[in-house]
Amino acid sequence: MNRIILTTESGADLPIEVVEKHAVQVVPMHVIMDGKDYLDGSLPVEEIYKYHEQTKKIPSTTATNVHEYEQFFKQIKANDPGCVIIHIGYTSKASSSFQNAMIATEEMNDIYLIDALNVTGGLAAVVMYAVDLLERESTIEPESLVEKIESIVPKSKLAFVPGSLEFLKAGGRVSNLAYLGGALLKIKPRIELIDGKLVSTKKYRGKMSMVSEKLIHEYLNQYDINKEGIYLIYSIGLDESIKEKMTNIAKEHGFENIKWMQAGAMISTHAGPGGFGIAGLER
């Protein structure tokens, strides 16, 4: 049986130790800062925040392009002739990355593309579901694995609160009026992936310590998340006391495996410093 190789984009924010342990191949997306193009993963997130602090600007982000996908998949095939690639991609509703992968593989064989309709921890949850399934059922046929992954995509639930409206404002994602009102009232939006689209579903008021607690309680009441694992996402700047509190709450709800993930450069340009999120798979 041909070996199955799982791939995804850097926007999944998979920790390097997870990537190395499970041999997931990751193709980088792009961050453009001060006129320079950086591969996501090569640019320390702290540099993004430092750049914003100095210029009041934030970097832009771009998708993995067609040529990069062609080279990425061809290299995998060259290293492992006869392998089957299953690519679990960043939501097509928020990036052209998935469409670029489709174009790149039009004349390639044994490559399956799955639109995860999610980002960061929500995408990671789908990838890790595939990893666990493949490790448990090493002889599974690619078509069967793809079918099972596609069936879990709608069950991946992600919700997060950006750390600062200022970052959203700098990127032109909120109006000045909305920003001023939100800043004065200490309002933070809850962002979710609905049918693959980033949507503000609720607004919280207060400090991040209170907001993060509201978010995790409401999320766990809203969704019946599989107790085998949960992903907690943070962007640099989130207070350690908040992280400790979120871990304890997850433990109190009976989660067996609590995995913290740091938002990488791609996600951090949208979430800003001190953000918090939660992701998991519904039962």
Q: What is the pTM of this model?
A: 0.94
225 C-beta neighbours (distance < 10 Å), count: 23
Residue 150, classified by CB atoms within 10 Å of its CB into exposed (0-12), middle (13-18) or buried (19+), is middle
pLDDT over threshold 90, residue 184: no
pLDDT at 170: 58
Over residues 185-192, mean pLDDT:
80
pLDDT at 147: 98
pLDDT over threshold 50, residue 180: no
CA 170 to CA 75: how far, in whole Å? 38
CA 239 to CA 211: how far, in whole Å? 13
53 contact partners, CB below 8 Å, separation of at least 6: none
Residue 79, classified by CB atoms within 10 Å of its CB into exposed (0-12), middle (13-18) or buried (19+), is exposed
Among 59-63, 64-68, 131-135, 145-149, the range scoring the smallest mean pLDDT is 59-63
Q: Domain 4-30+63-152, what fold?
A: Rossmann fold (3.40.50)
Pick the CATH number of 156-281 from 3.30.1180.10, 3.40.50.920, 3.90.950.10, 3.40.50.620: 3.30.1180.10
pLDDT at 215: 97
| pLDDT tens, position by position, 1-42 | 689 999 999 999 999 999 999 999 999 999 999 899 999 999
| pLDDT tens, position by position, 77-130 | 999 999 999 999 999 998 999 999 999 999 999 999 999 999 999 999 999 999
Tally of CA atoms within 13 A in the half-sphere of 267 that contains its CB: 34
Over residues 259-271, mean pLDDT:
92
| pLDDT tens, position by position, 213-254 | 999 999 999 999 999 999 999 999 999 999 999 999 999 999
**Tokens coding 213:** 């607690």
CA 87 to CA 76: how far, in whole Å? 12
Tally of CA atoms within 13 A in the half-sphere of 58 that contains its CB: 23
Contact 98, 113 (CB under 8 A): yes
Q: Which amino acid is at 76?
A: I
CA 132 to CA 268: how far, in whole Å? 27
- Domain positions in the chain: 4-30+63-152, 156-281
pLDDT over threshold 80, residue 178: no
Q: What is the DSSP string of 236-276?
A: TT--HHHHHHHHHHHHHTT-S-EEEEE--HHHHHHH-TT-E
Over residues 168-172, mean pLDDT:
58
pLDDT at 168: 64
pLDDT over threshold 60, residue 173: no
| pLDDT tens, position by position, 40-64 | 999 999 999 999 889 888 888 999 9
